[in-house]
Amino acid sequence: MKTKKEIKSPKGKLGVLTPGMGAVSTTFMAGVIAANKNLGKPFGSISQMGRIRLGKRTEERNPLIKDFIPLADTNEMVFGGWDIFEDNAYEAAMKSGVLEKDLLNSIKDELSEIKPMPAVFDTKYVKNIDGENVKKAKTKMDLANELIEDIQNFKEANQCDRMVMIWCASTEVYTQMSDVHMSLDKFEKALEENHPSIAPSMIYAYASIKAGVPFANGAPNLTIDMPALIELANKSNVPIAGKDFKTGQTLMKTILGPGLKTRLLGIEGWFSTNILGNRDGKVLDDVDSFKTKEVSKLSVLESILEPDKYPELYKDMYHKVRINYYPPKGDDKESWDNIDIFGWLGYKMQIKVDFLCKDSILAAPVVLDLAIFMDLAQRANMKGIQEWLSFYFKSPQTKEGLTPIHDIFQQRIKFENTLRYLMGEELINYLGLDYYQE
């Protein structure tokens, strides 16, 4: 038996703060409240329903993950957030139209109490929406300090023991890393000087880490994926993770891609298109926000298929991703994939996927698990980038020099082995030694 790592107790309240209180955030909050009252089951959440195998297969030890490792109890969660609109979580959830009105009405009191704090917002970074509930200050550093104050006030008012922050706000325009993102000193100077390359999401991330609160990024924005904030997270012993929740079409891609690759079926082209009509779709209708999303969605296949190692199968693959805003669909996104594949002697075949999904229904359990596992990471004294949570992201953040793992099954093994490692259990490598004559 290996030694168990020291993990602080999860007793006490866990505050979960989300910049952005739109469809994803309110579906998550309402879902946790409803599940706590036995009004529904948290399907899709590994922290609530997942099991983990321990030891040899013959030992039949498969406990629920939440019974195996000390995790925060969802009954001890309190929710807060920021938004540019003043709607409380009940009003925002009603407008998002994801969950049924009856369900929302049965938890109206709890949801109505969650009121958004004024946001840090800049229309240069999110173009297709604008709102009034926005902070005004002289410098971006002042805005960061106001956010730190919000975090501390929330913690005190709700008597929280610990906090986590998950970015659930709109996708910002595509931003390339520049000199101001390269070190903490430069980043802080840029905050003082109101540098245009510091996006609102970066100000939230800075404030969160400064306040000692783990930060996960659910959108494809640059946000914490830069040397300056990684430096701050390492220095402050705070876990960070990103980016872009892996749901919908990309989830399917990371399920199908590894399957085709493992049987060495070639891919000539993969055309993916989506129609969606929620506020996220409206923001992504702007070319610059779409560019951020496109880069995140496109990166997935490259690392799964490894075209450099298998040029005959994947080097010339044509990969295209489109997102179209189509209001009648609301949150019920429809995504189509046309995959042109080839096999034995180059004979061609096609796979068509028509996924009628509900984006926020797929994202809500991801938010819950990230809140729970980021809190675990902090209690287990794990700082900086949490690559073991890649499982939840389209563009997993990794340490410098490492290629991200996109294959969802490899990600799951890494995730489970991390839990085993923390609890002093043998890691599982699926190697059966009984075939060999020693």
Ligand X SMILES: NC(=O)c1ccc[n+]([C@@H]2O[C@H](COP(=O)([O-])OP(=O)(O)OC[C@H]3O[C@@H](n4cnc5c(N)ncnc54)[C@H](O)[C@@H]3O)[C@@H](O)[C@H]2O)c1
Residues in 86-105 at the binding interface with ligand X, rule: CB under 6 A: 96
Helix, strand, coil shares of the chain as percentages rounded to 5? 45, 20, 40
Site string for ligand X, 397-436 (x = CB under 6 A): ----------------------------------------
- Residue span binding ligand X (CB under 6 A) among the ranges 44-52, 61-69, 243-251, 307-315: 243-251
Shortest Å, Cβ 199 to ligand X: 9
DSSP state of 75: G
In the DSSP assignment, the letter for residue 55 is S
Subset of 252-311 contacting ligand X (CB under 6 A): 278-280
Backbone conformation region of residue 430, classed left if phi is above 0, alpha if psi is from -120 to 50, else beta: left
129: closest CA among 137, 121, 140?
A: 121
- Contact pick of 10, 20, 31, 384 for ligand X (by CB under 6 A): 20
Nearer to ligand X, 23 or 35 (CB): 23
Q: Mind giving me the DSSP string for 276-305?
A: E-SHHHHHHTSHHHHHHHHHHHHHHHHHHH
Which residue lies nearer to ligand X by CB, 68 or 392?
A: 392
Among 14, 16, 17, 19, binds ligand X (CB under 6 A): 19
Considering the rule CB under 6 A, would residue 365 count as an interface residue with ligand X? no
Longest distance between any two alpha carbons in the chain, whole Å: 73
* Cα torsion through 65, 360, 318, 343, rounded to 10: 50
Least Å from the CB of residue 291 to ligand X: 13
Determine phi and psi for 271, rounding to 5 degrees: -105, 120
With binding defined as CB under 6 A, does residue 24 bind ligand X?
yes
- Alpha-carbon gap, residue 359 to 280, rounded angstroms: 10
Cα 298 to the center of its chain, rounded Å? 17
Q: In the complex with ligand X, which residue's Cβ is closer, 88 or 170?
A: 170
What is the chain's Cα-based Rg? 22
Helices (H), ranges, 211-335: 227-235, 248-262, 279-284, 287-305, 311-314
- Quick check: 360 binds ligand X (CB under 6 A)? yes
Q: Confirm or reject binding of residue 245 to ligand X (CB under 6 A).
A: yes
363 contacts ligand X (rule: CB under 6 A): yes
Q: Which residue has the tokens 């009003």?
A: 91
| Contacting ligand X within 207-226 (CB under 6 A) | 218-219
- Using the rule CB under 6 A, is 332 a contact of ligand X? no
- Interface pick for ligand X out of 110, 150, 294, 359 (rule CB under 6 A): 359
- Pick one of 84, 216, 300, 301: the residue that binds ligand X (CB under 6 A): 84
Asked whether position 392 contacts ligand X by CB under 6 A, the answer is no
Question: Is the preceding omega at residue 243 within 30 degrees of 0, hence cis?
Answer: yes
- CA 197/CA 190 separation, integer angstroms: 8
Residue closer to ligand X by CB (options 245, 314) is 245
368 lies in the site for ligand X, by CB under 6 A = no
Closest to ligand X by CB, 65 vs 203, is 203
Q: Which stretch binds ligand X (CB under 6 A): 119-127, 145-153, 297-305, 422-430?
A: 119-127
Number of residues that bind ligand X (CB under 6 A): 36
Q: Which one, 244 or 375, has the nearer CB to ligand X? A: 244
- Interaction pattern, residues 156-175, with ligand X; x per rule: CB under 6 A: ------------xxxx----
Q: Which two tokens stand for residue 10?
A: 């999860």
Q: What minimum distance in Å lies between the beta carbon of 250 and ligand X?
A: 8
Q: Side-chain half-sphere of 171: how many Cα atoms within 13 Å?
A: 26
Query: Which has the closest alpha carbon to 428: 46, 53, 2?
Result: 53
Q: How far is the CB of 362 from ligand X (least distance, A)?
A: 5
**Residue from 91, 188, 244, 387 that binds ligand X (CB under 6 A)?**
244
Contacts of 236 (CB under 8 A, 6+ apart): 209, 210, 212, 383
Task: Using CB positions, name the residue nearest to ligand X.
Answer: 22
Q: Which two tokens stand for residue 38?
A: 């036995």
Q: What is the DSSP string of 173-200?
A: PP----GGGSSHHHHHHHHHTT-TT--H
Which chain residues interact with ligand X by CB under 6 A? 19-25, 82-85, 96, 119-121, 126, 129, 131, 168-171, 200, 218-219, 244-245, 247-248, 278-280, 359-360, 362-363
